Amino acid sequence: MCASVKYSSRGPALIPRMKTKHRIYYITLFSVVLLGLIATGMFQFWPHSIESSPEWTLDRRSVHDAPLVKLPVSSPIPERGDLSCRMHTCFDVYRCGYNPKNRIKVYIYPLQRFVDEVGVPISSTGLSREYNDLLSAISDSDFYTDDVTRACLFVPSIDVLNQNSLRIRETAQALAMLPRWDKGMNHLLFNMLPGGPPDYNTALDVPRDRALLAGGGFSTWTYRQGYDVSIPVYSPLSAEVDLPEKQPGPRRYFILSSQTAIHREYRTELERLKEENGEALLLLDKCSNLSQGMASARKRCYKGQVYDYPQILQESSFCVVLRGARLGQATLSDVLQAGCVPVIMADSYILPFSEVLDWKRASVVIPEEKLPEMYTILKSIPHRQVEEMQRQARWFWEAYFRSMKAIGLTTLQIINDRIYPYAARTYEEWNNPPVVKWSSVSNPLFLPLIPPRSPGFTAVVLTYDRVESLFRVITEISKVPSLAKLLVVWNNQNKSPPEESLWPKIAVPLRVVRTKENKLSNRFFPFDEIETEAVLAIDDDIIMLTSDELQFGYEVWREFPDRLVGYPGRLHLWDHEMGKWKYESEWTNEVSMVLTGAAFYHKYFNYLYTYKMPGDIKNWVDAHMNCEDIAMNFLVANITGKAPIKVCISYLLACINKFASVFGTMPLKVVEHRADPVLYKDDFPEKLKSFPNIGSL
Amino acid sequence: MQAKKRYLISLLTGASLVLLLYFGGVPGPAPATSRHERARGGGGGGRRSGQPWPHASEPFQPFSPGDETDTEEYNAHVSPRQKREVHASVYRGKRCRMDSCFDFSLCRRNGFKVYVYPQQKGEKISESYQSILAAIEGSRFYTSDPSQACLFVLSLDTLDRDQLSPHYVHNLKSKVQSLPLWNDGRNHLVFNLYSGTWPDYTEDLGFDIGQAMLAKASVSTENFRPGFDVSIPLFPKEHPRSGGERGHLRANSIPPFRKYMLVFKGKRYLTGIGSDTRNALYHVHNAEDVVLLTTCKHGKDWQKHKDARCDKDNAEYDKYDYREMLHNSTFCLVPRGRRLGSFRFLEALQIPSTVRSIHQDKILALRQQTQFLWEAYFSSVEKIVLTTLEIIQDRVLQHTARSSLMWNSHPGGLFTLPQYSSYLGDFPFYYAGLGIKPYPKFTAVIHAVTPLVSQSQPILKLLVAVAKSQYCAQIIVLWNCDKPLPAKHRWPATSVPVIVIEGENKVMSSRFQPYESIITDAVLSLDEDTVLSTTEVDFAFTVWQSFPERIVGYPARSHFWDSNKERWGYTSKWTNDYSMVLTGAAIYHRYYHYLYTHFLPSSLKNMVDQLANCEDILMNFLVSAVTKLPPIKVTQKKQYKETMMGQSSRASRWADPDHFAQRQTCMNKFASWFGGMPLVHSQMRLDPVLFKDQVSILRKKYREIERL
């Protein structure tokens, strides 16, 4: 916007010297040019004009403008990588420090062009497209800092992705010349194609002191567990080809081999498999007689028939990923993208990101010597698992393989998780595809545990001004053996609670909490006064539950401490207007919610309700003075994936619709059972039953 | 013409202005790429201000020329087969990996079998090592025939390799070398708890382990051979041999913070290895919520090294009770000792305090995970040993090995046998975690022991009633009767397939065989004389869908501790609680068939087969040991109990007076194998929602259950 103002101020300066009749013509012409310019250059000019800074003149737009650094022959060479390096020996965590966001800061060295004494560059390709993408992605991410003194991790702008294009000694010298190199401490190098002919080392051969290596193709002998990061070999096809996600399920071919550089020993084995199993296997190789102009990387052939690669990968359930000279293969990325389950045969290979990814859920790893048994092994895998793996494979590609950005940021996140282990991503966060994250539950109360009876429960009674009814409720509840404490939440700001002497005398402590606002949510506040796990939420008008019924409710809660345990339709409600008992007449055979007018639940859900309730549900409930129980049912079902025990059925459809939209799903689970004491209504002497006074009303 | 000239001039000016702007020659707006374009690796030079990283514009070359892999030269590397052989010969000793130092072929013949060398006379074996050997010998992996074995375990005590220790075994080197099967330690597993001694505590065992795997406490990353060695916890000699206590977490209090935030109590060493960590602890100690106590009293001559803080520290140390501190702290510090591993680690696991965290939810989850790990893998020597063996077995199984989820979530790797299925959804434990549901039908398995003589026999009524259930997929009749199979037409016509299987040995345990014809997740196990209505079956199945990891059944039994006789008692009386449901009529996940057959030792299964009794008790023990929860009893019609108790068929085993006494004996035998009583009591029964409610019977879905 600023830019366009400048142009128009330039424009009139030229115009006055011209004849008036041409003026309009020129102005129009100029406007057209200007408009075109704005239209094409809008994105380029816009951001800068907003964040223009005096520093910008230091900007370098081109790699060729990067300063040239001449490496003296005698320039020091770092030591070879130290195999015993671990985070606690070769990494200075104190540089990362404690920071509230639990996020490491990454610095990228400015671009320099290193040349040897005679002016030959250290790398034949210079900065590659992929490394440029990677560095751009890091500099755009939250990890990035331009303040070298605050950085925890340093990324050189020397591209070592492909060792083949490097001059090893000179590259090492260049690394050592980096201003903060300090024996490679806290430096991170990215390499995808390590080693070189004839023996192809499985880690970058460039001497690099203590630098961390994010390498593609590590073997178990070169990978320093917990220090290096194993990364994929990026496949450029990821960006070129758009393969839409395909539904998991059986496909035309069972096994597909699409690699072109397979050692003849293995190709012979594959051909033998093909002979035995026929159509189930498709064994592709490179095309020998393609017409000019066709990209050979995008075609595969079998007996003269041409197939499109990587599209053909989508036609197979399993795809072979065999080791080549190197362990890491870019094919793996293509295979994952196609949602084909990779069959990885590369002994001792450290799979990409194996520190966090559970490859057993997305791939089949078979030892190379078992190649002849591949068909039998794969046939033994259950169909549903194959579908699960296909989905998982595709998700791994989408999340961690699809671009250099994904690869780079995943690497940084893994290192970040090591530095701040207490804030690390969980197994589920790393491995569950969104569809599973959405439909599955992660219940923090996952331990199967039946809490002891002795701590008892705390009854929380929400009241406004119905003192008489409240006192009756208190007197009734106080008879329950396991009651530990009674907490009255006084929700009336205009009126003080009755004097202490007027309250019923009961055997357990009774506390009154006065609230600041008359909100329904107050009943679910995790008050410090609640010292037990179990909470009985009860309305001040529920007086028809017997002591046995409440005690039994508590016993049931102990067996299901992660569920809401509420009372059934026999619940009687005091109708103030009519001055008589309302009788709940709506009976159904199914349970999906219980009313919190009388329900046992874990105090943890109070904490969740108050601090972790999604969306604006809490405010909605407080504004409408209604549906707090339904909100609680949604919350618990959403967290635990479990149905409550028992039900009451009166609810408002409006709340259900509202809450279902906030949760984005209908978490409530319907069941058809309820809990009764073992001898309930059995023909058995009442006095021998633990809970005789149940359902006696 | 002039107009034309002017037009040309101005056009040129305009064009040059545009060009100037484009190439940034004019000190005005600087070229900068938008975030969008940058993310695409985009064109246009420049960068965001203040960023030294240029988003450079040139058409870069790709990092790898695409057709490199196609060249023959690239492909002409060493034969992969030769390469594997070279690896095996080069990577030995400290660089051992499964690929190079383990002979997989030994495991291929007989599966994963473990051989323990016979104990030699005169060899002293410590209590702990005896426990380890006993655990292996009692496991399903054990073989007494070395030619069957895939893994070998020494009978020489290698646990304590501290030369100053009384348990130190001398001349181990020559003793090991003289073993005829040693073979440079190939496929051997060596257990070790302590290595090295004062002052440098090296991790050297004092003999050459060759290619043997090491299961060692206190192993550092420097010496640990990933994917080959196994790191085990350091356990004291009092550690229970089997079973073991449950974790001490009883309640998940909210907020989860305890009296102390972080505690530690231990020796300070003053000098030498490990002392710097512990000498530094006092900096963090604040005597309020962070209590880190050290004592200088270590060894005989600690006074010599005594420093200025010692007296004060020693006094502070004695003020606090260790157990009280552990139980009341949110986190426990586990600093290294002389060796890396520490008893504190086990203690901290059992008493649920965790190492460091922030959010309340996270503390809650971490604390629960400590309990899970303790109970699944640490609470007894047997669990530690079995976990070690299972980890090695996973490596041998390779593609069918357990996934991390199986290891790290309840009930843990020891109860999750990967040979059953590698698909998580085939187990009863992961439905919620994967967001899926069990298959909504069941397979009924009827155990038939009496010949089919009349058309009024209970088994035929049962067959018809079960087949009518909307959830029934098929019925399997397990023919465990000595008489030959009845002709096909003798079975009633049903809408679901009826499969008759002839029992292999006609033994009791065969009813829990994982038959391949069971295609559903749920199994309804039935005795031939069971009386059930379709409604009862339907209702029980809907309940099971909510609790797929438990047994859901009708008649229930209970156990109790008989303090007079000091043993477990069994009761079939009507009581207010129960801990077992009879498998003569129960629904459970088919995985438990697999576990029963392949997890339980043959000693227990043989006992069941010989007595032709107790199979239901054993199944209940097994499932409760896995779930740590009671079974679920659903409501039943009244007459059921009486018929169940055996008036119907003459051969009913329930009529046998010995029957009850046997069951008592079984319970105690099972409890000793499980290392404790896994059964858990429940006080509730699940009834249909409107059961016996005062509403019209017509409104009830499961009304048949109430009718007598």
Instruction: Write the secondary structure of A12-33 as one string of H (helix), E (strand) and C (coil).
Output: HHHHHHCCHHHHHHHHHHHHHH
* Residue B395 to residue B389: CA distance in whole angstroms: 10
The pLDDT of residue B271: 75
The pLDDT of residue A658: 65
Asked if residue A283 has pLDDT above 90, the reply is: yes
Task: Tell me: do B268 and B141 sit in the same domain.
Answer: no
The pLDDT of residue A446: 84
Nearest-CA distance B701 → chain A (Å): 6
**Contact residues, chain A, for B626 at CB < 8 Å:** none
* Residue B494 to residue B438: CA distance in whole angstroms: 25
Task: Tell me: do B84 and B190 sit in the same domain.
Answer: yes
What are the pLDDT digits (tens) for A394-404? 999 999 999 99
Q: Is the ipTM of this complex over 0.85?
A: no
Q: What is the mean pLDDT of residues A385-391?
A: 93
CATH of the domain at B524: 3.90.550.10
The pLDDT of residue B645: 45
Task: Tell me: do B200 and B278 sit in the same domain.
Answer: no
**The tokens of B504 are what?**
């292999």
Among the ranges given (A407-416, A563-572, B316-325), the one the predictor scored with the smallest mean pLDDT:
A563-572
CB atoms within 10 A of CB A342: 26
Asked if residue A12 has pLDDT above 50, the reply is: no
User: What residue type is assigned to position B372 of the chain?
Assistant: F
Q: Residue B499 pairs with which residues in a beta bridge?
A: B476
User: What residue type is assigned to position B706 of the chain?
Assistant: E
Nearest-CA distance B50 → chain A (Å): 7
Among the ranges given (A191-195, A544-548, B196-200, B279-283), the one the predictor scored with the smallest mean pLDDT:
B196-200
Type and span of the H or E element at A122:
none
- Check if A32 contacts B (Cβ < 8 Å): no
Asked if residue A35 has pLDDT above 60, the reply is: no
Task: Tell me: do B328 and B452 sit in the same domain.
Answer: no
Instruction: Kindly indicate the confidence band of residue B41, based on its pLDDT and cuts at 50, 70 and 90.
Output: very low
Asked if residue B633 has pLDDT above 70, the reply is: yes
The pLDDT of residue B143: 93
Nearest-CA distance A128 → chain B (Å): 5
Identify whether B385 is part of a domain. no
Among the ranges given (A78-82, A321-325, A600-604, B369-373), the one the predictor scored with the smallest mean pLDDT:
A78-82
Instruction: Kindly indicate the confidence band of residue A537, based on its pLDDT and cuts at 50, 70 and 90.
Output: very high
Q: What is the mean pLDDT of residues A34-50?
A: 45
The burial of A594, by beta-carbon neighbours within 10 Å (0-12 exposed, 13-18 middle, 19 or more buried), is given as: buried
The pLDDT of residue A677: 73
CB under 8 Å to A550, separation ≥6 — which residues? A477, A480, A536
Instruction: Kindly indicate the confidence band of residue A682, based on its pLDDT and cuts at 50, 70 and 90.
Output: confident
**Contact residues, chain B, for A382 at CB < 8 Å:** 421-423, 426
**Contact residues, chain B, for A643 at CB < 8 Å:** 546
Identify whether B464 is part of a domain. yes
CB contact under 8 A, A436 and B435: yes
What are the pLDDT digits (tens) for B662-686? 999 999 999 999 989 999 999 888 8
DSSP per-residue string spanning B338-368: SSS--HHHHHHHHTT-BS----HHHHHHHHH
What are the pLDDT digits (tens) for A208-250? 999 999 999 999 999 999 999 999 999 988 888 888 988 888 8
Task: Tell me: do B110 and B152 sit in the same domain.
Answer: yes
Contact by Cβ (8 Å): B316, B264: no
**The tokens of B531 are what?**
């009386």
Asked if residue A660 has pLDDT above 80, the reply is: no
In this complex, the residue of A47, A330, A436 whose CB is nearest that of residue B34 is: A47
Identify whether B365 is part of a domain. yes
What are the pLDDT digits (tens) for A575-590? 555 554 444 444 556 6
Among the ranges given (A61-65, A179-183, A489-493), the one the predictor scored with the smallest mean pLDDT:
A61-65
CB contact under 8 A, A139 and B70: no
Instruction: Kindly indicate the confidence band of residue A670, based on its pLDDT and cuts at 50, 70 and 90.
Output: low
What are the pLDDT digits (tens) for A587-640? 556 666 777 788 999 999 999 899 888 878 888 888 888 788 888 888 888 888
Give how far Cα A88 sits from Cα of A92, A94, B220, Å.
8, 11, 11
CB contact under 8 A, A678 and B556: yes
**Contact residues, chain A, for B19 at CB < 8 Å:** none
Instruction: Kindly indicate the confidence band of residue B659, based on its pLDDT and cuts at 50, 70 and 90.
Output: confident
Identify whether B409 is part of a domain. no
Identify whether B63 is part of a domain. no
Q: What is the mean pLDDT of residues B204-224?
A: 87
Identify whether B703 is part of a domain. no
Nearest to A389 by CA among A344, A429, A439, A326: A344
Share of chain B above pLDDT 70, in %: 81
* Residue B525 to residue B554: CA distance in whole angstroms: 11
Q: Which residue of A has its CA nearest to B37?
A: A43
The per-residue pLDDT of chain A, averaged, comes to: 82
Would you state the torsion angle of the CA atoms of residues B249, B254, B257, B259, taken in this order, to the nearest 10 degrees? -80
**The tokens of A371 are what?**
């190649």
How many residues are given for chain A?
697
In this complex, the residue of B49, B91, B574 whose CB is nearest that of residue A679 is: B574
Question: Could you report how far apart the first and last alpha carbons of chain A are, in Å?
Answer: 78
The pLDDT of residue A42: 44
Domain residues for the domain of B280 are 260-377
**The tokens of B387 are what?**
């976990």
Task: Tell me: do B477 and B571 sit in the same domain.
Answer: yes
What are the pLDDT digits (tens) for A449-486? 888 999 999 999 999 888 888 998 899 899 999 999 99
Identify whether B250 is part of a domain. no
Task: Tell me: do B476 and B522 sit in the same domain.
Answer: yes
What are the pLDDT digits (tens) for B351-384? 444 444 457 778 888 888 889 999 999 999 999 9
A contact residues 521-540, partner B, Cβ 8 Å cutoff: 526, 531, 533
Task: Tell me: do B296 and B349 sit in the same domain.
Answer: yes
Look at chain B and report how many structural domains it folds into.
3
* Residue A218 to residue B16: CA distance in whole angstroms: 54
**The tokens of B13 are what?**
């000016």
Nearest-CA distance B11 → chain A (Å): 8
Residue reference for tokens 């067996």: A559
Comparing B697 with A343, the larger pLDDT belongs to A343
Nearest to A270 by CA among A315, A322, A331: A322
CB contact under 8 A, B6 and A59: no
Q: How far is CA B25 from the centre of its chain?
A: 68
Comparing A520 with B624, the larger pLDDT belongs to B624
The count of CB pairs under 8 A between chains A and B is 448
Picking from B179, B211, B231, the residue at the C-terminal end of a domain is B231
User: What residue type is assigned to position A611 of the chain?
Assistant: Y
Q: Which residue of A has its CA nearest to B410?
A: A447
Identify whether B75 is part of a domain. no
CB under 8 Å to B661, separation ≥6 — which residues? none
Task: Tell me: do B607 and B669 sit in the same domain.
Answer: yes
- Check if A354 contacts B (Cβ < 8 Å): no
* Residue A164 to residue A326: CA distance in whole angstroms: 12
CB under 8 Å to A299, separation ≥6 — which residues? A286, A287, A290, A306, A307, A308, A309
**Contact residues, chain B, for A111 at CB < 8 Å:** 53-54, 56
**Residues of B classed as catalytic:** 616
pTM listed for this prediction: 0.84
Instruction: Kindly indicate the confidence band of residue B452, based on its pLDDT and cuts at 50, 70 and 90.
Output: confident
* Phi, psi (deg, nearest 5) at residue A416: -60, -45
Task: Tell me: do B539 and B673 sit in the same domain.
Answer: yes
Q: Which residue of A has its CA nearest to B368?
A: A447
Among the ranges given (B230-234, B417-421, B586-590, B694-698), the one the predictor scored with the smallest mean pLDDT:
B694-698
Q: Please give the DSSP secondary-structure letter assigned to residue B169.
A: P
Q: Which residue of A has its CA nearest to B8?
A: A26
CB under 8 Å to A43, separation ≥6 — which residues? B33, B34, B36, B37
Task: Tell me: do B222 and B310 sit in the same domain.
Answer: no
Type and span of the H or E element at B66:
none
Instruction: Kindly indicate the confidence band of residue A32, based on its pLDDT and cuts at 50, 70 and 90.
Output: low
Among the ranges given (B267-271, B302-306, B346-350, B563-567), the one the predictor scored with the smallest mean pLDDT:
B346-350
In this complex, the residue of B47, B49, B629 whose CB is nearest that of residue A448 is: B629
Instruction: Kindly indicate the confidence band of residue B688, based on its pLDDT and cuts at 50, 70 and 90.
Output: confident
What are the pLDDT digits (tens) for A110-121? 988 899 888 899
Task: Tell me: do B214 and B308 sit in the same domain.
Answer: no
Instruction: Kindly indicate the confidence band of residue A36, based on its pLDDT and cuts at 50, 70 and 90.
Output: low
Q: What is the mean pLDDT of residues B16-45?
A: 41
Q: What is the mean pLDDT of residues B494-521?
A: 91
- CA torsion sign, A154 to A159 to A160 to A162? positive
* Phi, psi (deg, nearest 5) at residue A457: -130, 160
- Check if A638 contacts B (Cβ < 8 Å): no
Where residue A156 falls (left for φ over 0; alpha for ψ -120 to 50; beta otherwise) is beta
**Contact residues, chain B, for A296 at CB < 8 Å:** 67, 70
* Residue A513 to residue A528: CA distance in whole angstroms: 11
Asked if residue B704 has pLDDT above 70, the reply is: no
The pLDDT of residue B52: 56
The HSE-up count of residue B493 (CA atoms within 13 Å, CB side) is: 0
* Phi, psi (deg, nearest 5) at residue A587: -110, 130
* Residue A76 to residue A95: CA distance in whole angstroms: 25
* Residue B287 to residue B166: CA distance in whole angstroms: 38
* Residue B519 to residue A607: CA distance in whole angstroms: 43
Nearest to A315 by CA among A259, A393, A271, A255: A255
